[in-house]
Structure 1
Amino acid sequence: MERSKSLLLFLALVKISSCCLDPPSSYRFTGAVCRLTYPAAVVLNEKTTEVIQAAFQNAKYPSVEGERSIGFGTVQYGFHNLEIHNLSIGKSEFELKENEGIGISISNVSAVFKGTINYGYGSWLLSLKQSVDFEVESQIDLVINPKLYCGKGKVAADTSDCYLTFHKLKLLLQGDREPGWLKRMFTDIITFTVKLVVKSQICKEINNVANILADFVQEQAEQFLGDGSIGVDISVISSPIIKSNYIESYHKGLVTFNNVTSDLSTSVFNPSQLTENRMLYFWISDGLLDPMMGAAHHDGRFIHNISGTELIDLFQTELSSARPELLSKWLSSEGPMLKARSVSVPHLWTTTEGTSVRAVAGVELLLDRQDVPVLYFETDVTVVVKASYAEKNLILNGTAERISIAKVSTSEGTTEMGDSLKVYLQEAVEKIGIPKVISYLEPHLTALMDEQGLYLFDIINPEVLSQDGYVIVQLDFGFPQHLLVEFLKKTLD
């Protein structure tokens, strides 16, 4: 019976990991959420024309051949090498349609299509075949109603609800604006065919571009969250929600390291935790942040050595506790080096007071050309951290909540200096060690984010809000042109 229960649970988890759930069912498996509000959609819509231009220019227009009976004869035609020139777009408007999709209207798309037509006319009176260059002058309005869904773990777009209205479609054969009777006779036929081909290919290419864009954005997000051997799976677990004033997507937020993936099935997410006052919201669960800390520990990232003048300057900090004479002697010796590392997996949790991190660090002081430390101790520290981001730099404010000193040993014996050393070390950890760690983490994490291109974004008044079991990052932004350029390059390659 127990094996049967285990098997059923395993199958249920497999089903959850491979299928898309309805949003309410997905909440407890949600590690990260992105909410994009209406003002943000306005900014993104300003770039829509460039994406639509890419769709028009990148579309592949097939050769078309056909024939049609007219009067006492048959018109045969075929056009080839269709290309687009002189493309311009008027304006773009959009609407968020609650529980349906997105309505996009592109007006006044002007373009000239150029190519070659082979045509012929045959009857008992006349037989004629000819090949000429042609141009089609067009003015089009475009309406697209994309629907977003969960496809293979990514946000996918269905733009099959796509309409083109031709306000102008004029066929010119060899630039002839006053064609003869034969050209006029089948111009309408060819014009009608051009309409069908252009509509089919443009709508097909827009669907292609939309899905490339969705993949591109998710790939950029995964690259931003991961680093080296540490990755984050942000596959979507349900179809995005569309309201009249925001779009919201739900992601796994699972940390991967050395082929091991974290588990998250107790998320506390609820849509009511997010507001609609800012342009962009990121909701991040402790279930994502805590395993990320663990992965960084196992990857050896919490190790730091201090020596030379940096070490000497570090201990110039005024403390209320007297520094033991033996410690002063060691610091003034030749080539002292302080090594600090995490000796157990750190634990992270978030409350309204901030993000708490508990870690046990091992600290050893070594002198030049000695393998055995003259001082070793471990400190169990809990720090409450509040984060902010300003002037393209991460700012961390840490407050010690709990500090204990253990496993103190010296080259002079474990009892040498006794309690006075523990008292000094405890104050040194609080007033020297924690600020030093934070001063190291701030530029390191800022540089890490900059490597992923964060500094190129126009981020406006970002806020980091700590809540019980999760963190909310909310901000306004200006869309970075470089990201669009990179996307368009990828699309056109």
Structure 2
Amino acid sequence: MRTMPRAVFPTLLLLLLLLSVLGASQACLPDPASAYRFTGAVCRLTYPAAVVLNEKTTKVIEAAFQHARYPSMGGEKSLLFIGRVIYGLDNLEVHNLSIGRSEFELHPGEGIGMEITNVSAVFKGTIQYGYGSWLVNVKHSIDFEIESQIDLGINPKLYCGDGKVAADTSDCYLNFHKLRLHLQGDKEPNWLKRLFTDFITFTVKMAIKGQICKEINKLANILADFIQETAEHFLTDGDISVNIAITGPPVITANYIESYHKGLTNYNNTSAVINDSVFHPSQLNENKMLYFWLSDQVLNPLLTAAHKDGRFQLNISGAELTELFKTNLSSVMPECIRKCLLESASPELRVWSSSVPYLNISTLGMTVLVKASGQFHCGSQGTPTILFETDVDLVVTASYADKKLFLQGNPSKVSVIQPELLSQNQLLLNETQLEFLKEAVEKIGIPKVLSVLEVELTRLLDKQGVNLFDIFNPEVLPRDGFVVISMDFGFPHHLLVEFLKKTLQ
């Protein structure tokens, strides 16, 4: 009756959707090949997925422009006919920002090339200036605005540094197609003002470039931390968590970005260990947007932690239990069970995992080997009427559609051992009674446990926000010692909103 542990697999399948190429790392090995054997989970983001994510890039770039804090600028210079010019610019702010389009490409072994074109913005602030000679001597403090039209180029590089994968966007440049400074709304300045504003414009251009590129670099690393924190929170439930630190630097090819993660289960201050992973990049392809490679060395420690944490328990009582036993079985129901269901005020069945479940993944499927104990009570909180233990080998398949998780189980082995009829203080040695228990476990118990897990795991996934993703055509391919999950997806807008809110606080 104990098939509950298997569903931890689809849980991880969907939870890992929040993994990204950016994650924290305690010890990042210098090259991917040396990191493979310590890798429990791999995320491959293909070019079509990058296209979807790039559609959100403009929002982050807008935040970079608007969130940038432009310092006060000042200086002096000698100009022909005017003499010495002293100036200062304060309170620079961005208004009327718009972005034309964003394009990108993946540079194998290097990074990501991004072009943001047609960035139009008006910078407003206050200018203090004075200029003087034997002809004139003027001092002013007036408002100004700068019209700008800019193309922005960024070539981010992902690397291991400071205990995490960081994004280096220092290769950043701005091309100004238009940058005009107007004093107090004066669109047609005289030659004197024009001479002065042309000089100031160059200084403003350098300041804007420096601050925008600085802000983009800061936002990139804030985004890295945000994704990591979100993923770690997503993969934490109670005392169970998953360490998704990376084992090596991300790999960038012309067709995908790939990251390598430890995938170590943590429970009660103890951590799983992986040092003989079978991962190789050839095990993944590029037909879909997103791929996850998961070792059974990630999933089995999760099952162990869940077992130790008492997660695998199920109590069914009253009318629900009575209704379950109306299932048409070929075996004859023992009289003690029949009387319990019909005559007891509150019959109850209690089931729990009595040993650590084990998951075996192969090309034949995903098999769960589980042992469970069961107690059948007839309304009394004391001694149960029936006590039994079962061994179950179950091949489980998982799917996700219409925002719901679906589980199907095909038992290859079901056995009932050590059954006791405690109300009569004797072993249930009757073959008819044993056959009934076995059939009940297979045709009532296993389907019921799977249906409960479907509901509970869907609820958990919804709580963590998986239902906010649009997931298309997910596929689960079991292989020897690992499983590959592939899918297409739509990026959830709420994640971007949360990130921008946090950034702009």
User: Structure 2 length as normaliser, TM-score?
Assistant: 0.91
Q: State the partner residue of 1:456.
A: 468
Structure 1 position 206 matched with structure 2 position 221: no
**In terms of mean alpha carbon deviation, does 183-192 or 76-85 score higher?**
183-192
**In terms of mean alpha carbon deviation, does 306-315 or 115-124 score higher?**
115-124
Q: State the partner residue of 2:503.
A: 491
8 Å contact from structure 2 (residues 428, 434) kept in 1: no
- Equivalent-residue separation in structure 1 for 2:260 and 2:161 (angstroms): 13
Structure 1 position 143 matched with structure 2 position 153: yes
Q: State the partner residue of 1:104.
A: 114
8 Å contact from structure 1 (residues 150, 237) kept in 2: no
**In terms of mean alpha carbon deviation, does 241-250 or 325-334 score higher?**
325-334
Q: State the partner residue of 1:8.
A: none
**How far did 1:423 drift?**
2.2
Q: State the partner residue of 1:60.
A: 69
Structure 2 residues without counterparts, runs of 5 or longer: 1-24
- Matching of residues 63-462 of structure 1 within 5 Å: 63-71=72-80, 73-332=83-342, 333-411=344-422, 412-462=424-474
Deviations 1:155-210 (A, max 9, x none): 32100000000010001011112323442232122101111110001001111111
Q: State the partner residue of 1:477.
A: 489
Q: Which amino acid aligns with 2:461?
A: M
- Equivalent-residue separation in structure 1 for 2:293 and 2:229 (angstroms): 18
- Equivalent-residue separation in structure 1 for 2:118 and 2:40 (angstroms): 43
8 Å contact from structure 1 (residues 132, 173) kept in 2: yes
- Equivalent-residue separation in structure 1 for 2:337 and 2:99 (angstroms): 74
Q: State the partner residue of 1:23.
A: 32
Q: Which amino acid aligns with 1:56?
A: F
**How far did 1:419 drift?**
3.4
- Aligned residue for 1:40, secondary structure, equals helix
**How far did 1:146 drift?**
0.4
- Equivalent-residue separation in structure 2 for 1:485 and 1:466 (angstroms): 36
Q: Which amino acid aligns with 2:425?
A: G
**In terms of mean alpha carbon deviation, does 319-328 or 22-31 score higher?**
319-328
- Aligned residue for 1:238, secondary structure, equals strand
Q: Which of 38, 41, 46 is matched with 2:55 structurally?
A: 46
8 Å contact from structure 2 (residues 26, 245) kept in 1: no
**How far did 1:278 drift?**
0.3
Larger RCO (CA under 8 A, 6+ residues apart): 2
**How far did 1:62 drift?**
0.5
Q: Cα distance 1:47–1:471, how it changes in 2: closer, same or farther (>3 A)?
A: same
Paired residues, what number? 478
Q: Which amino acid aligns with 2:346?
A: G
- Equivalent-residue separation in structure 2 for 1:166 and 1:321 (angstroms): 83
Q: Which amino acid aligns with 1:305?
A: N
CA RMSD after TM alignment:
1.6
Q: Which amino acid aligns with 1:237?
A: T
8 Å contact from structure 1 (residues 281, 472) kept in 2: yes
Deviations 1:304-338 (A, max 9, x none): 10001111111112222222212212222232111
**In terms of mean alpha carbon deviation, does 470-479 or 137-146 score higher?**
470-479
Q: Percent identity?
A: 62
- Equivalent-residue separation in structure 2 for 1:369 and 1:402 (angstroms): 32
- Equivalent-residue separation in structure 2 for 1:251 and 1:299 (angstroms): 24
8 Å contact from structure 2 (residues 418, 427) kept in 1: no
User: Structure 1 length as normaliser, TM-score?
Assistant: 0.94
